[in-house]
């Protein structure tokens, strides 16, 4: 995204520079005010240079918004001052709405609207002063009043359009935040914080379709129902959360832990073969059986399977489940591998 934004800034700054130079070149008798076009063109070239030299995007955006706002403020003040001497609306001011648009694009919605209001107040107050100075020796005619109102009211229109954009932006942010929260709820087990069953199976399906080798560990806490029956469900919940913390402590950043239901969990291990996965499962088994002060000790039985050669998550879990139950039948608190 940052690379795309920088490319857009580079293209727009170069295009704007070219347009300003062309606009100045076609003027038969450039005025003092028109030389501001060249100043702004030079500043846009500076924006392009910042992009090429790798300046932080945040600096580029702030510089662009600042120079654009100053350029149109000064042009507006000079134009209103000149109206008193018979000048009409200068063509560059037809593009004044870009200030409000830039504010909306480059700033968070509420900051953009605050910036737009401050900009308009500066334009209005400074413009009225410039207009008064321009008409110190005569009254405004009907055409001059019309030109003045065009400038001030068009900017007021840009301001209210930016308000509308900001309202949509705030609503869009709220919708994105809500969607993100809903996605998090759907992807995460509410009690333990690991992946939900649905999300874990999606990850496993993606691993199966890739060409990268890997393994899966399926484990089940031994005699967990007795813990709930003897100590109560709150204690059982603490055992589950403690177990997840211990498992996560022993996993790599790319490994994925999911709760498939109740006291049954699975770990997806991208890039690990069966032998390495068996060693990890043994380490996890020892971590889980270690006593804890906050809840009763618990053990787990493990089934380990390699993902290579398996075509579906159903097949993957079936193989792992068979290995898990071999570990259960062999006395629990042990690791078994699925072969073939």
pLDDT of residue 299: 92
pLDDT of residue 283: 94
Q: Per-residue confidence at 185, pLDDT binned at 50, 70, 90?
A: low
Of the listed 173, 205, 263, 306, which one is catalytic? 263
Tell the CATH topology of 197-337.
Answer: Alpha-Beta Plaits (3.30.70)
pLDDT of residue 322: 92
- Residues 6 or more apart whose CB falls under 8 angstroms from that of 270 comprise 207, 212, 214, 254, 255
Residues 41-80 have pLDDT tens digits of 888 888 888 888 888 888 888 888 898 899 899 988 888 8
Q: Is 33 helix (H, G, I), strand (E, B) or coil?
A: coil
263 is catalytic: yes
Residues 254-272 have pLDDT tens digits of 999 999 988 999 999 998 9
| pTM score | 0.52
Q: Is 102's pLDDT higher than 80?
A: yes
pLDDT of residue 85: 73
pLDDT of residue 216: 93
- Could you give the CA distance from residue 123 to residue 112 in angstroms, rounded to a whole number? 16
Are the CB atoms for 286 and 247 separated by under 8 Å? no
Are the CB atoms for 122 and 114 separated by under 8 Å? no
DSSP for 69-116, written as a single string: HHHHHHHHHHHHHHHTTT----GGGGGTHHHHHHHHHHS-HHHHHHHH
CATH 3.30.70.270 range(s) for the chain read 197-337
Between these two residues, 20 and 114, which has the higher pLDDT value?
Answer: 114
Q: Is 151's pLDDT higher than 70?
A: yes
Q: What is the mean pLDDT of the chain?
A: 85
Are the CB atoms for 37 and 45 separated by under 8 Å? no
pLDDT of residue 140: 67
Residues 279-305 have pLDDT tens digits of 999 999 999 988 877 778 899 999 999
Q: Is 277's pLDDT higher than 80?
A: yes
- Residues 6 or more apart whose CB falls under 8 angstroms from that of 14 comprise 44, 48
pLDDT of residue 184: 64
Are the CB atoms for 224 and 298 separated by under 8 Å? yes
Q: Per-residue confidence at 177, pLDDT binned at 50, 70, 90?
A: confident
Q: Which residue has the tokens 């177990």?
A: 243
pLDDT of residue 246: 93
Average of pLDDT values for 20-30?
74
Average of pLDDT values for 311-320?
88
Between these two residues, 86 and 184, which has the higher pLDDT value?
Answer: 86
Helices (H), the chain: 2-25, 35-52, 57-83, 97-106, 109-134, 142-187, 197-209, 224-231, 233-249, 274-289, 313-329
pLDDT of residue 256: 92
Q: What is the dihedral of CA 83, 89, 94, 99, to 10 degrees?
A: 0
């Amino acid at each position: 995204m940052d690379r795309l934004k920088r490319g857009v800034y580079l293209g727009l700054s170069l295009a704007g520079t070219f347009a300003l130079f062309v606009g100045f070149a076609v003027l038969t008798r450039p005025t003092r005010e028109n030389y501001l076009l060249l100043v702004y063109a030079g500043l846009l070239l500076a924006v392009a240079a910042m992009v090429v030299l790798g300046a932080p995007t945040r600096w580029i955006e702030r510089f662009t918004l600042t120079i654009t706002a100053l350029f149109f403020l000064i042009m507006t003040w000079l134009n209103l001052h000149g109206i008193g001497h018979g000048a009409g609306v200068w063509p560059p001011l037809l593009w004044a709405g870009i200030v409000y648009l830039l504010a909306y694009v480059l700033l968070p919605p509420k900051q953009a609207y605050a910036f737009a209001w401050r900009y308009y107040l500066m334009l209005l107050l400074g413009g009225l002063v410039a207009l008064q100075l321009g008409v110190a020796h005569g009254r405004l005619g009907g055409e001059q009043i019309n030109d003045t109102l065009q400038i001030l009211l068009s900017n007021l229109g840009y301001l209210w359009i930016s308000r509308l954009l900001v309202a949509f932006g705030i609503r869009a942010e709220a919708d994105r935040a809500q969607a993100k929260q809903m996605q998090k709820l759907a992807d995460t087990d509410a009690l333990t914080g690991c992946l939900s069953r649905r999300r874990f199976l999606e990850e496993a399906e993606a691993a199966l379709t890739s060409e990268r080798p890997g393994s899966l560990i399926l484990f089940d806490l031994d005699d967990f129902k007795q813990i709930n029956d003897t100590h109560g469900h709150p204690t059982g919940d603490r055992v589950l959360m403690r177990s997840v913390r211990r498992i996560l402590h022993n996993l790599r950043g790319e490994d994925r832990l999911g709760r498939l239901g109740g006291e049954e969990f699975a770990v997806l291990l991208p890039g690990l073969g069966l032998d390495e996965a068996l060693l990890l499962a043994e380490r996890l088994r020892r971590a889980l059986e270690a006593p804890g002060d906050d809840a009763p000790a618990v053990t787990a039985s493990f089934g380990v399977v390699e993902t290579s050669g398996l075509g579906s998550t159903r097949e993957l879990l079936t193989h792992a489940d068979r290995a898990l139950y071999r570990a259960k039948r062999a006395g629990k608190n042990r690791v078994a591998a699925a072969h073939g």
